[in-house]
Amino acid sequence: MNSTRIAEPFSAKAREFVHAVLSLKPQVATFDCDGTLWAGDAGEGFFDWELGQGFLSAEILQWARPRYTEYKAGKVSEEDMCGEMVTMHRGLGEEEVQRAAQRYFDEHILSQIFPEMRDLVRRLQEQGSDVWAVSSTSEWVIRAAMRHFGIANEKILAAAVEITGGRITDRLIRIPSGEGKPRAIGIAVGRNPDAAFGNSRWDTEMLRIARHPFAVNPNADLERIAREQAWTIFFPDSVRHL
């Protein structure tokens, strides 16, 4: 297949963006997920959704919403909250949580995937790029999502804990947020990415280490940084500013 032929029905701007990235022939490409590959925050959405599914303990249910309110008020750090969204599953079977994450993603987020970004990921893979998903959302949600992008589990760097006997523990392995993203990439990949894609200030450090940084669907903070640094800014068709 000709990996530089961009499929319809993307806009001319979207086709131009995908073609420009492919022409760089990056050996390693790293993608943030929430807000970059799809609209919305699957991590936050799954957290809210699973509180009503009946498999979390009464203790966790009593703790969860007040804790998230504290986080939104700036009283809990991004890294701490992302970690707690994973460790709150301690004692549960991982397969049960993975099934729940798959159900949540397919029912609530799948339709929000940016088609041109999914096309870009697949075409990069077709031309031999080593493509990684790097996210502070739980590994279970990102695994569910990456089934739709063709990214294998071993190429996922997401918030994760140790699993013992199929049971989730509260022993964190990594939280790829902010400075944690380059750290996770360095450990797993062993080199800086040729191309990196992100949408928020929590992706800034990952974008800074990339040879070619791309701000995709950036929020206001990252858009300001991207313009200051002369990074490429791209808004997918479904969210593009008119």
Q: What is the pLDDT of residues 207-231, one digit of tens each?
A: 999 999 999 999 999 999 999 999 9
pLDDT tens by residue, the chain, 242 residues: 344 444 457 899 999 999 999 999 999 999 999 999 999 999 999 999 999 998 899 999 999 999 999 999 999 999 999 999 999 999 999 999 999 999 999 999 999 999 999 999 999 999 999 999 999 999 999 999 999 999 999 999 999 999 999 999 999 999 999 999 999 999 999 999 999 999 999 999 999 999 999 999 999 999 999 999 999 999 999 997 54
Dist CA 11 CA 236 (whole Å): 9
**What's the CA gap between 165 and 146, in Å, rounded?**
25
Nearest 5°: CA angle at 148, between 181 and 13? 80
- CATH class for the region spanning 12-234: alpha beta
Residue 2 half-sphere exposure toward CB, CA atoms < 13 A: 5
Give how far Cα 173 sits from Cα of 59, 98, 116, Å.
Answer: 24, 17, 32
The per-residue pLDDT for range 122-148, each reduced to its tens digit, is 999 999 999 999 999 999 999 999 999
Predicted TM-score (pTM) of the model is 0.93
